[in-house]
Structure 1
Amino acid sequence: MTKELTIAFIGGGNMAAALGAGLIGKRCGAHDVHVIDVNDSVREGWAQQGTSVAPEPDDTLAQRRVWIFAVKPQYLKEVVESCRPFLQEDTLVISIAAGIPSSAVARWLGTTEHPWTRLIRCMPNTPALIGAGASALMAMDGATQDDKAVGQQLLKAVGEVVWVDNDHEIDIVTSLSGSGPAYVFLFLEALIQGAVTQGLSPQQARALALATVTGATQLAALSSESLPVLRERVTSKGGTTAAALAVFEDKQFSSIVQVAMKAAANRAAELSDQFST
């Protein structure tokens, strides 16, 4: 693996900040990180950590081995093209922009006939902010084994990492772990409100709901038993849990979740069509 890890974040917002927190002081020094962002306050926050900053691409960008594009999909093409003059032969590009296929980024960095394929596309999620993220990565043909190791190292610093084979699978991941935290937050809100409606205080309900979801998730991760077996062990025949699960089944809870995930994946594909030309 490359010993010297020098990084440029193009876009210094929340996800870049999460990655930076996982890397600076652990995998690289602040002096190894350069951040490009148009927002003055964002740049100031990074500069206070000891990184170099700039409002637009400059010669410092050319000196960074890894570029991480962390901007909104609608701005990605313009930003990528503004960075292209500073691209070097050994530059590894990582895109974490939702919905934009790797082929589009490769074309913007190069040409239609000669796209830049030393590229990794990544879909992280917001729990990366506390080092508990779930990220999926896919590599284009030009990415070397060393490049893949660097990508693994970067994202492993903020949570779990899985590799997938293509952009379609990244869209599926978007509907699962990318958007998934919002589903969990919605479920937590419903649990809390359900308890408050029945008479618990908001503080009691919140503490119990958070502990329940955290504990169940940890049990599922650590247990050798399957999820259906774990569920069955909580569910006594004719008991309280069985009554609740019967309502979920009657309301087609599983189908609702799957339809919602499909909507998220479809929206990712729409973003691709809208912003990848």
Structure 2
Amino acid sequence: MLNAMTRAEIWLQDSLSTPLGIDALAAHLGYSTSQIRRQFSHYFGSSPGVYRDRRRLERAAVLLALGSKNIAHIGVACGYQNHSAFSRAFQRTYGETPRCYRSTVRQTLNRLPPPCDMVTRIEQKSSHYAIMRRLYQAPDTLWPLGQPDLHASDLLGMDSRYSEAAPGIALPDLLSQRIGACAETTASRRTDIGLCLVPQSEADSLPLPASYRRLHVEAQHYAIIRLQDISQLDDAVDCLVRDLLRQPVPYHISGKAPYVLWLEGYPELRIPLGP
């Protein structure tokens, strides 16, 4: 049942901007609504609806703090069709209106220390596919990150093509955690761990255990920093945020999950950008 509730949690994450409810979730998983409510509450400490509301507001906090869209647009992108309802829900959770929150957090971020010796670059990357499984652990509790045996312990023996893929992790909570807006849930630190592949034909044809899922990562621009090791992750996020807020660049943090790829033995942080 844990795998089913993990799929439920991921479905809720992926449908934040939609009005789809518990009936759609139950149909997606093939369980009754009562089973979904009972089992989801058991594993995640709240009903699916409450959980999604928290995640919606968490995403809104990230977009307010780090994005460029206006407040009404952010509300709609996070599933609130009514601006007043969005503002009330946000203020109940964070103690400030969206406008005041944006101002307060931006002031705090602009007071971050001077730029570190890490180098931020902005690049467009082509689309690719990833094979990931979700863990409810912070990345610093996983070891040894970057080693194929950890990222793909269930995959390497299934097909030789997996051995040619780059180890990677996606971090849905990294940005909200760095600005202090992470939702208080039993799944407050999520890490998707697996392998990154390039051709769609490769991803479609590879065998996949039940705990993994295929992710299509669209072609987009990224803010990128190469790390010496994963212990520099938080400093790298701060450096990227500081650089993007202070430099006149045409791209802003999109709110999509950042990820880390291990290329030539070194981790590379990539934060998706949007116009």
TM surpasses 0.5: no
Report the TM-score, using the length of structure 2 for normalisation: 0.23
Report the TM-score, using the length of structure 1 for normalisation: 0.23
Higher strand share: 2
Higher helix share: 1
Q: With a CA cutoff of 8 Å and minimum separation of 6, indicate the structure with the bigger relative contact order.
A: 2
User: Which structure is larger by alpha-carbon Rg, 1 or 2?
Assistant: 1
